Structure 1
């Protein structure tokens, strides 16, 4: 059995903040560890390791904050538009690593901010379908988007369609992990889009089309 998610604005804001903090706390913690090594170590090789750790972690923290600013933030006043080229840049910084690649085929254009926020959040949803990494391909489909993921152990997490539909199991809870797909569903309904999943072998398709 499922029930409709009923969060007030303060709880929604708090959970989204928790999600952002969860994403940046790891690289920030690594920066702190690297600084401690620089203070305590005299070994040149350890100091070099610490400097490399700090540089890598600072890049990660910056990329995650830039992504969060567009995906969750206000990104301008009401009615503002966002360049999909900017969305691509922050998406690559956040997603692409030694485990996951991104094939971006969305035409560059100025789109309403909530539609771009939906796209970025769909990328996070897509990433959750390939827990061991793989390839994410995204394209523009008229007023919607189409995402294709492929990777080892690809799957559609059981809770995803339910959370995107604005529902949760009766004994389930909305936490910092569940809030992101729920927020994606809120964005989809706001811009008049429905989200559908399908799977073929180790390929997952996510289609966001006009309702």
Structure 2
């Protein structure tokens, strides 16, 4: 299948749509909570409204911090990113009452595109467990040529069948929309940093491996 080449403006527009889609729900919930407070509610309703605002603000902030690192510039060209920062934003996004994050990696400075790849692989893993579960992240090897292993397991663990082709840059439909842009972008980042990504279902889990490509 022929690899899809996406215009840079279309790529930017689709990624912006993806970020807005992910953030609109918690931002909308904040608005609802504030409207409840404006209605001069009783103490019980007021408490519920404040809890909704606080929870939604935390969720929106976590999503923005994660997306800034996974999709954004994150420093100047050639910059390195502390994997401890990647772990922190991942815990902010994934570690909640439904999902646990197991991070198996030492804290090191790593080329930013490789960190962006890792965070995008985590998003793919999380998409397979919408009802919650466990995401395990492992980094082995030297910082310049790391090997990533991301595994997710949970209730009804299932990966959309379109994702491997999107990561490979060869969507079955020959096009990509806002729903598939994150997986497509993951493949672009992987190829930019010369890493090969393999995604498979294994023992009721989704297993994603990213390894340096041979020269």
* TM more than 0.5: yes
| Structure 2: gaps of 5 or more residues | none
- Report what 1:145 is aligned to: 148
Please show how residues 67-78 of structure 1 align to structure 2 within 5 Å. Answer: 67-78=66-77
Q: Answer yes or no: is 1:134 the counterpart of 2:130.
A: no
Shift, 1:10, TM fit: 0.5
Shift, 1:41, TM fit: 3.2
Secondary structure at the counterpart of residue 16 of structure 2 = helix
- Report what 1:164 is aligned to: 167
Question: Deviation string for 1:57-95 (max 9, x for gaps)?
Answer: 111111111111101110111011100001100011111
Whole-angstrom distance in 2 between the partners of 1:42 and 1:129 = 40
Whole-angstrom distance in 2 between the partners of 1:137 and 1:4 = 30
| Structure 1: gaps of 5 or more residues | none
Whole-angstrom distance in 2 between the partners of 1:154 and 1:55 = 30
- Report what 1:210 is aligned to: 212
- Report what 2:6 is aligned to: 7
Aligned residues: 209
- Conserved in 2, the CA contact under 8 Å of 1:85 and 1:108? yes
Shift, 1:96, TM fit: 1.6
Query: What TM-score comes out, normalization by structure 2 length?
Result: 0.93
Question: Deviation string for 1:164-205 (max 9, x for gaps)?
Answer: 0001123x6412120000000001101111111232231221
Whole-angstrom distance in 2 between the partners of 1:49 and 1:120 = 33
Whole-angstrom distance in 2 between the partners of 1:128 and 1:54 = 25
- Report what 1:179 is aligned to: 181
- Report what 1:99 is aligned to: 98
- Conserved in 2, the CA contact under 8 Å of 1:3 and 1:169? no
